[in-house]
Amino acid sequence: MLNKKNINFSSLKFKLFMSMFIVLFLFIIAKFFIDYKENEQKTLNYLVNTNKTINKFLAQNIKGYIYNNDFENIKSLVDSIENPYIRNILIVNPKGKILYSKLTEKQIGSDYTLSFLSEKNNFLFYSSFDFLDVNMGYQIIEANMQEYENELISELKKLFLFSTISTFFGLLLSFILSTYISRPINEIINRLNKSKKNEYIKFDKQEIDEFDFLAQTVAIQRNELIELNKNLSIKIKEEVNKSQKIEKKLFESEKLAAMGEMIGNISHQWRQPLSVISTVASGIIVNQKFNLLDLDKIEGDMNNIVLQTKYLSKTIDDFRNFIKNTNVKSSFTISHLLDKLVSLTHSALVNNNIILIKEISEDFELTAYENELIQALINIINNSKDATLSHTEITNKYIFIKTEYTNGKKQLIIYDNGGGIKQDIIDKIFEPYFTTKNQSLGTGIGLHMTYTILVIKHNAQIEVSNYKFNYDYTEYVGAKFIITF
């Protein structure tokens, strides 16, 4: 964002302004010195030319007076010359005797040093009067240093004034030019800054081709981006919905699969009580045929049948409760939850010779969607069951369930002796569709479902690690799931 109130030293406008001003300022400084030197030379040239003119004037008229020692005419001729740049005019003979001095400070007849003939003196000019190559004397002009310096100071003042005005106009010109050049780009930036998010923009045709190209390109690309964003959010929503639907279906199918497995378990669990009922009923029939019915025994048999049917009814209730969809959270103890879990998984584990060892040291209370929690835990148990079954080296297969408080937090720990999870995939096991099982055996949704239920729906945490432990004098390694509520 460009700050309008403060000077932005990194802005294009400032840099343009400074570049132009520096160039102009250097030009002004250079011109100042060149003009000063020119003026200095001009003033000096003026003195030289003045001397030449005076010499020319005097040479034509004064030679005769010098030759004839006509001092009166020399005086009147020299005194007739007036010039502010000339301090004194002297006429000396070839030997350096002063024939006439305009200023009385130099006495006529006294010697004037002729060192100027060999030494350069910027403020003393001389010419000789010659005839037939015979030197008749010298005309010496002493420049008026004060006037010369005054002239230079006056020129310096004029130059300084000119330079100051030029600098001011340089500043103004630099500002106007930098503003003019940077205006289109600033307009583009301001327009972009002021435009609302997702607002389509259009720039008018810019005067400068490059800026016009820039503006139109920015507008096109921005509008395309907005269009893309709009479509993208719609597309993302569609994809998320689709994904959610698929996930829901997968969850449902996972649940159905669990239900199918449980039905198998139930049918297995039902065999024994049905067999008891059948045996008791068959015994009664046989006794009745042989008139051996004993009312006391019948009561006992009936009680046994009632007991078995209650067991059957409970099994049905457990299953029905599990498949029932409830959108209401309820409060229950962890032991109650684990009893149901064991009830639903017992047969599957027993059939596979897996021993489930449950240690409830802390029976804490939870408020949650009970059936969903059971589903989440069934998935972990199923994962452990599959791991222990595939780990053929071990004879005794175990799944441990423990509860405890760690740092004041309720924890449910499930671990097995199935050999653990490979370190390179351990971080991926909760990702959807990730499975190490054959495609026909696993969908890769079970543990993802567990993660979703625990972390997303119940704000709990789940960690997995490989765990080495000793049990029954044997060392085992397995996967350990820690659920923190």
Partner 1 sequence: MRKNFFGLILFGLIQAQYLFSFDIETASKIYDKLFYAVFEKTNIKVFVNDDEYKQMILSSKNLVLSESINMSDIVIVTSENDLINIQDKVAFAIEKSLLEKNTNIIGAFYWNKGRPEIIFIKDRLAHYNLKITESFEKYVK
DSSP result, 89-130: EEEE-TT-BEEEESSTTSPTTSB--GGGGTS--TTEEEEEEE
Binding mask 55-94 for partner 1 (x = CB under 8 A): -----xxxxxxxxxx-x-x-------------------xx
Q: What residue type is assigned to position 70 of the chain?
A: D
- Nearer to partner 1 among residue 134 and residue 456 (C-beta): 134
Quote the least distance from Cβ 49 to partner 1, whole Å.
Answer: 23
Report the b/e string of 6-17 with b at 16+ CB within 10 A. eeeeebebeebb
Is 106 one of the binding residues for partner 1 (CB under 8 A)? no
DSSP-based three-state secondary structure for 281: helix
Decide whether 136 or 453 has the Cβ nearer to partner 1. 136
Decide: is 485 part of the binding site for partner 1 (CB under 8 A).
no
Of 93 and 335, the one with the shorter C-beta distance to partner 1 is 93
Q: How far is the CB of 62 from partner 1 (least distance, A)?
A: 7
**Cα dihedral 285/288/292/298 (nearest 10):** 70
Give the residue from 320, 410, 329 showing the smallest Cα distance to 370.
329
- Please report whether residue 96 would count as binding partner 1 according to CB under 8 A: no
At its nearest, how many Å lie between partner 1 and the CB of residue 67? 5
405 binds partner 1 (CB under 8 A): no
Please give the structure tokens belonging to residue 290: 């042989």
Separation of alpha carbons 448 and 452, rounded Å: 6
Applying CB under 8 A, the span of 6-14, 21-29, 132-140, 367-375 interacting with partner 1 comes to 132-140
Instruction: Compute the distance between CA of residue 222 and CA of residue 200 in angstroms, rounded to an integer.
Output: 8
Task: Select from 82, 133, 393, 475 the one that contacts partner 1 (CB under 8 A).
Answer: 133
User: Can residue 358 be called a binding residue for partner 1 (CB under 8 A)?
Assistant: no
> In angstroms, what is the minimal distance from the CB of 134 to partner 1?
4
Q: Which CB atom, from 76 or from 288, has the smaller least distance to partner 1?
A: 76
334 beta partners: none
Residues in contact with partner 1, shown as a per-residue x/- string from 134 to 173 under the rule CB under 8 A: x-x-------------------------------------
Residues ≥6 apart with Cβ < 8 Å to 467: 415, 420, 477, 478, 479, 480
Which lies closer to partner 1 via its Cβ, residue 33 or residue 131? 131
| CA pair distance 392, 279, nearest whole angstrom | 39
**56 vs 248, beta carbon nearer partner 1:** 56
CA distances from 104 to 144, 308, 373 (A): 16, 157, 128
Minimal distance, residue 66 CB to partner 1, in Å = 7
Number of amino acids touching partner 1 (CB under 8 A): 21
Q: Say which residues have a Cβ less than 8 Å from residue 362's Cβ, sequence separation at least 6.
A: 334, 403, 404, 405, 410
Residue type, 103: L
Q: Select 75 or 97, whichever has its Cβ closest to partner 1.
A: 97
Nearest approach, Cβ of residue 55 and partner 1 (Å): 15
Among 33, 123, 131, 213, binds partner 1 (CB under 8 A): 131
7 binds partner 1 (CB under 8 A): no
Give the ranges where 3-99 is alpha helix by DSSP (H): 12-67, 71-79
Residues at the site binding partner 1, with contacts judged by CB under 8 A: 60-69, 71, 73, 93-94, 97, 109, 131-134, 136
